[in-house]
Structure formats: C-alpha cells, structure tokens
Structure 1
Amino acid sequence: MNFASLPDHRAESDPDGPAVSDGRQSLTNAQLLTRVRAAARHLQDLGIGPADVVALKLRNRVEFVVLLFAAWRLGTTVTPVNPSLTDGEVARQLQDSGARLLVVEKSTTAAGVATLAVDALYAEGAEADPAPQPDSSSLALLIYTSGTTGMPKGVMLGHSNIESMAGTGCRGLELGPADRCLLILPLFHVNAIVVSVLMPLLAGGSVAITDRFDPKTFFDLVEQERPTYFSAVPTIYSMLAALPADVLPDTSSLRYGCCGAAPASAELLARFESRYGFPLIEGYGLSEGTCFSTVNPVAGPRRAGSVGIAVPGQDIRIVDERGTELAPGMDGEVVVRGPNVMRGYLGRPEETAKTIVDGWLHTGDIGHLDADGYLFLAGRSKDMIIRGGENIYPKEIEDVLVTDPSVLDAAVIGVPDDKWGEVVVAYVQPRPGATVDPAALEALTARHLSGYKRPTSFIVVDALPKNAVGKIDKPSLRAARTAVPLGS
C-alpha cells in the first residue's frame, strides 16, 4: 500500500471509523481524506508539486499528519523540523534540503523560503481533487539526524523504504484494525512517524496524538484514550517507573509499550512491567534504517538485555573492522541489510559510501548475536572507552548502576587520562526524593565489574542532559567533564 493512497483506501472501506485525533479535534477516515484533499489543493495553489520539498516545523498535532499525506498525494517530499531549533539551525536545514515551503505554527518569515501558518491551511472546499501520485521510487521523507557527532545530515527515505518498514513492522508488532496508538514522541522523529502514525493507520487502526509527554498526566491520557500501545524511549519509562507508589492507573487497554532509540536496562524493563502490568517490547534501529531492524517477539520469548531478533525482510550481521562476519557471542559492529535501508545522505556521497557498503548499513553500534539470533548491544562505537588498551562499553556499566534503588538513570563516558589514555566517569541522576551515595555505587560496581571497567568518579546531577529525541546527550557531558566529582 502506497501511503499517497492510504487516506482514500481508509475512507472507502470505513468512512466513519476513527483515524486521528489530538485533543483539539478528532477525524474519521472520511474527514481525514477531506482534509488531506484540501491541504493538497492548498499546496498546489502555492506552487508545490512533484519532487519539491515541504518543511513542517510543527508541534504534535493533527495537521502534521494531514500535511504528510497531502504532500505525498502530490509526489512531494516532507522534511520535519524540530520546533526547538534555533533560527540558524532551521535555516541550515531548509537550505540543505532545498525546501520550497515551511509550514509553521504562527506567521513568520524564513530567508529564501515561503512560509505558511498552519491555521491558515485549507480545511475544505477542494473543488478539483489532486489525484494521488503513488510512486514507490519517489522520495518520501528527509529526516535530519540529531547532529550529536557533527552537522545534521539529511537521511533520504523513499516511499519503498517506508512501505517496507511499515508493512513488516505491522507484522512484527502484530498490529490490526483494533489497535490504537497513543503518540507521545515528537513528530519530527522517524519513530513517531512510522511506529505511531503510519503503522497503526496501515493496519486499519487509529492514532491519538499528544502535544508533549508529561509523566504527571500520561496515565490520565491512557485512561481517557484507551490506546492498545505506545512507543517511547527509556528515559520516559524511567520517569513513569519513578512515579509515586500511590499512582495506580488503569492500564487494561494496553497490550504493550514499545521501547527504542536507546538501550534500556533489563532491570528497568522488569520493574516497569511488574508495576504496571503490561510488557515493554524493546527494539532497535536507526533513522538510516527507516526506524527499526530488530524487535523482541510480542507473543514469543523476550530475552532480558536483548533488543530482539531481525524484523522480517531484514538481515543482521556482526562484523569486525575488516567487515568479516563474526560468530555468535562475539562483539563487533552491527550491520543491517534490507529494503528499509536509506537511499543515502542528501548531497553527501562520500559519507553515504562509508555508511552503506555492499548494501549493508554500518550502524556504528557494537553488539553480538546469540545462537538464536537475538541481538545484544554493548554501545556505540564512538562511545567506546579505551583504557590502557582495554575496550570498555558504557552500557554494561550503566546497566549495573541503575540497579541501585537510588538511581533513576546513568550515563558513562570516557575522559582523557595521562596514564591510561582514558578513564571511566559515571554521571547519575537520583530518583525523585532519593539521595545517591557514591560510596554505595563504588561498592556496587566493585561487586559486578572488573577493576578496569569501574568508574573513577561518580558525578551526581539533578538531570542528565537529553537531546530532542530523549537520548542522553553524551557530547555535552564530555564537554562538562571538568565538573567536580562527588565521590571516587
């Protein structure tokens, strides 16, 4: 199913069925199609057509979804823009993507690019409907990476990429017409677009959009919207697991929560499921792979510490520095192959060639496969710490630290050292109302880790820095490595 035609298909098969809502408005399938047609006409009136790029700098709202389908109806590419970016950062993305139109919350100007205030978007009255332009070879999305390792790059995802990912993702997560997703991640991220919008709509289900995540009101929304699943990052699950004990929500509608974007500790997954009564299905993937490449089985065995098995239609290998495939149990770089793999980075053929080699996407992540094909991650290759010639993967240490009842979250980095080259430093965030004892953490790591892996310092912070997607921002921690430790 090409997504340019999906609104038409849903309106024809179930016109009065629920499609998408955001707390301000709720659209049936027929109403969604009407809005998509009107928005497509508006884009056409502004001179937008096939192969053009439209940028959406919007918060989570129904209009984002409407514009997504309207653009695809015209054969137009969408590049989502993080609303929290500075004007300079927005300008760089607009220039790099070649966007011809920027849709924003309120009227504004952007150098060299026409703008459209979203509330002015046509909502009805399209006299001549622009017919869908289904073309699997055309570009659907330009997703810009977070830029934590350099300037953001435009990940080119074609319609064939998102069609494959959504189709196999629906099978992997066992989605059907009865499913309803509560969307809480920001829509400028591919996970939110694919897992929380495209997949449930493709499966015949519906989407309830939240403006932003708030742990204090999250379960109120669950009780109100009655979703069957949602997708979030480990930080969100940590915050929910840390809610006061008297928070006892009705979670009976939820089949599971999806967990991705960063590895979660087995302790967090078990603690969360025990408290709230529904499982967390952990998966793994990159924007360059259109979202996720592995997932733990919904109905089958989920292995503690694993991010699951390969999604149908994708292949996973572990390779060494020379690209040689490694045996089960051996750590190396995770590489991925399948129709989900991006076309490349926009305007960056050299970086594309380094990242996609003989059809395999080199992720930069380190891990191993067990004998049954379950993937276990050790960390990012760029996060790897080398102390006296020994390779240390921060996730192993972070997983130990979060078992302490006072620790909500942890981040481990390497800092330069004259003797060892690098030494291990741990940043820890306390649970609400708790006090972290660095001496207790030192004893904990001494029980579970070899001497060379143990942190030399434990730095307690009120909150660990996060990037826009909710991942811990380790580059900013490295920049702050001169902070005074609270124990050693």
Structure 2
Amino acid sequence: MDDATSFRLDGPVATACLGGPVPGLALRVVDEAGRECAAGRTGAVQLRGATLFDGYDGATDHRGVWFDTGDLGSVRSGLLHLSGRRDDRISVNGVNVFATDVEQAVAAEEDVAECVVLPYGASFAVVAVARRGRRIDAAGIAARVTADFAVAPLAVLDVAHSAVVRTAGGKPARGHMADRLERTDDGRFVLRTDRTPPASIDGPAPPQPNTDATEAG
C-alpha cells in the first residue's frame, strides 16, 4: 500500500487505513459468495499481481487468480480500510463481533492486565487477567461489552496470568484456549488447564500447572 497507515476508532469497528495498492497490484473486497462488495461494505480482502504471485510454471489456467489475504476490510474512495482478521470474527445472533476489538475494549479497564476472547458455539466468553493487587469486575466487564458491541458474553472468567496459553511468539493461543473452555452441568463456564503443552502451538509453550479449572467469576 502506498500511503501511510492511519487509524479510525470512533466508529462501531476500529479500522486502519492502509492507502491504495502500489502499481502492479490489484485489490478487491468480496462477499461470502465471491461477489465484489460495493464501496464501504466490509468483506474479504483479495490481492492480485505479478509482484505477489504470477502462478505456477506451466499451469496457465491458474495465472492471474486472486490471493485471499484472510483479512476483512472495505474500500472507500480507493483506499483500503482493514477491520480485522476473518478468523477473529464471531457472529452472535447476526451481529458480527471482532475478538480483537472486544479484547482492546476490556483491556482498557484499569483493573485488567490482559484479555482474551474465546469463541464458544455461536457466542464467546471473555477471559481477563487482573493487574497486580486488583480484582476483575466480571459484571462490569460484561456490561461494558454488551453496551459497546450490542451482544453479551456468555461469561467473564477471572484467571491467573499462567492460565493464558501462548504461542512461541508470545501471543495468546486463542484456538487452543477455546478448546479448553467448557460448560459444566450447572451452566458455569470453566477454563481447563493441564500439564502438557498443546502440539498445535507453533513452538515450545511454557509449562502449565497441574490439571485444574478456572471458573467464571
């Protein structure tokens, strides 16, 4: 992209404007059916161009195909505005919520050191780590998420820092943590932890405590 990145935080979804495509690179945004979206409509960001990928040698039928970046965004006045990754989007009763947006909103609370949003079925739960000497206000966080995003989380879990499983790069391993999120017979949500690092994480994971569970507070 040929313009400086800028950010817009005053809309329903935070976006980053990356500018227009560089010469030789084509850009489009498509809906779930592969149709090009109208200006300003959010969809899957796709790129095409020889600088990106010119196809396989001898496979002329596959030249000039569009590359799906995995990003969601929109084009306004010829400029690309990113709104998140497609695998970060959670659809709750027809309302699209981006996990990263919820995480940023919750992490802005003064008592919260870190937040991870975990998809669960057609909804999500919020996992929050308190700052040292602070306590998580689960009801307050649930109310803020509901007010900001028009959907209520299934639960807000107050967990220790060690309960956040990380990739080799230090980022929360959201997918693996979501696999550990369970609903008990009495309707409570717990985040299971175990001693063995997940094989799916891209690199060594820090040791986990012995098997136990963190309950929603």
- Considering the TM-score relative to the shorter chain, is it more than 0.5? yes
Counterpart pick for 1:322 among 27, 33, 39: 33
SS at match of 1:369: strand
Instruction: Tell me, in whole angstroms, the C-alpha distance in 1 between the residues paired with 2:2 and 2:110.
Output: 28
Question: Aligned in 2, Cα 1:475/1:295: closer, same or farther, shift over 3 Å?
Answer: farther
SS at match of 2:101: helix
Larger Rg: 1
- Per the alignment, residue 67 of structure 2 pairs with 361
Instruction: Tell me, in whole angstroms, the C-alpha distance in 2 between the residues paired with 1:388 and 1:306.
Output: 23
Residues 306 and 374 in structure 1, CA contact (< 8 A), matched pair in contact too: no
Instruction: Tell me, in whole angstroms, the C-alpha distance in 2 between the residues paired with 1:340 and 1:444.
Output: 44
Question: Aligned in 2, Cα 1:446/1:390: closer, same or farther, shift over 3 Å?
Answer: closer
How many angstroms does 1:311 deviate by?
5.3
Counterparts of 1:394-433 in structure 2 under 5 Å? 394-416=99-121, 422-433=122-133
- Per the alignment, residue 312 of structure 1 pairs with 22
Counterpart pick for 2:140 among 430, 440, 445: 440
SS at match of 2:181: coil
How many angstroms does 1:333 deviate by?
0.7
SS at match of 1:368: strand
- Per the alignment, residue 160 of structure 2 pairs with 462
Residues 73 and 80 in structure 2, CA contact (< 8 A), matched pair in contact too: no
Counterpart pick for 1:475 among 131, 150, 175: 175
The amino acid across from 1:320 in the alignment is D
SS at match of 1:334: strand
Counterparts of 1:41-56 in structure 2 under 5 Å? none
Instruction: Tell me, in whole angstroms, the C-alpha distance in 1 between the residues paired with 2:40 and 2:49.
Output: 23
SS at match of 2:177: helix
The amino acid across from 1:317 in the alignment is R
Q: Determine which structure has the larger strand proportion and give its number.
A: 2
- For residues 380-403 of structure 1, the C-alpha deviation after alignment (integer angstroms, 9 at most, x for no partner) is 2x3433334554332332232222
The amino acid across from 1:370 in the alignment is R
The structure showing larger relative contact order (alpha-carbon pairs under 8 Å, at least 6 residues apart) is 2
How many angstroms does 1:319 deviate by?
0.5
Question: Aligned in 2, Cα 1:469/1:335: closer, same or farther, shift over 3 Å?
Answer: farther
Instruction: Tell me, in whole angstroms, the C-alpha distance in 2 between the residues paired with 1:476 and 1:445.
Output: 23
SS at match of 2:140: helix
Counterparts of 1:164-243 in structure 2 under 5 Å? none
SS at match of 1:448: helix
- What TM-score, normalized by structure 2, do the two folds share? 0.65
Residues 457 and 485 in structure 1, CA contact (< 8 A), matched pair in contact too: no
Structure 1 unmatched runs, 5+:
1-293, 417-421
- For residues 3-32 of structure 1, the C-alpha deviation after alignment (integer angstroms, 9 at most, x for no partner) is xxxxxxxxxxxxxxxxxxxxxxxxxxxxxx
- For residues 43-96 of structure 1, the C-alpha deviation after alignment (integer angstroms, 9 at most, x for no partner) is xxxxxxxxxxxxxxxxxxxxxxxxxxxxxxxxxxxxxxxxxxxxxxxxxxxxxx
Residues 296 and 302 in structure 1, CA contact (< 8 A), matched pair in contact too: no
Residues 397 and 454 in structure 1, CA contact (< 8 A), matched pair in contact too: no
Question: Aligned in 2, Cα 1:423/1:461: closer, same or farther, shift over 3 Å?
Answer: same
Say if 2:41 is the partner of 1:335.
no
Residues 296 and 303 in structure 1, CA contact (< 8 A), matched pair in contact too: no
Instruction: Tell me, in whole angstroms, the C-alpha distance in 1 between the residues paired with 2:40 and 2:130.
Output: 33
Q: CA RMSD in A?
A: 3.3
Instruction: Tell me, in whole angstroms, the C-alpha distance in 1 between the residues paired with 2:123 and 2:8.
Output: 31
Structure 2 unmatched runs, 5+:
183-190, 192-213
Residues 116 and 126 in structure 2, CA contact (< 8 A), matched pair in contact too: yes
The amino acid across from 1:338 in the alignment is G
Question: Aligned in 2, Cα 1:405/1:315: closer, same or farther, shift over 3 Å?
Answer: farther
The amino acid across from 2:216 in the alignment is L
Question: Aligned in 2, Cα 1:461/1:296: closer, same or farther, shift over 3 Å?
Answer: farther
- Per the alignment, residue 169 of structure 1 pairs with none
Residues 306 and 377 in structure 1, CA contact (< 8 A), matched pair in contact too: yes
Question: Aligned in 2, Cα 1:296/1:394: closer, same or farther, shift over 3 Å?
Answer: farther
Instruction: Tell me, in whole angstroms, the C-alpha distance in 2 between the residues paired with 1:411 and 1:362.
Output: 26
SS at match of 2:146: helix
Counterpart pick for 2:81 among 369, 375, 380: 375
How many angstroms does 1:406 deviate by?
2.2
Identity, in percent, stands at: 22
Residues 295 and 311 in structure 1, CA contact (< 8 A), matched pair in contact too: yes
SS at match of 2:127: strand
SS at match of 1:317: strand
- What TM-score, normalized by structure 1, do the two folds share? 0.32
Instruction: Tell me, in whole angstroms, the C-alpha distance in 2 between the residues paired with 1:338 and 1:405.
Output: 46
Say if 2:98 is the partner of 1:393.
yes
Instruction: Tell me, in whole angstroms, the C-alpha distance in 1 between the residues paired with 2:21 and 2:168.
Output: 26
SS at match of 2:113: strand
Q: Determine which structure has the larger helix proportion and give its number.
A: 1
- Per the alignment, residue 32 of structure 1 pairs with none
Question: Aligned in 2, Cα 1:438/1:324: closer, same or farther, shift over 3 Å?
Answer: same
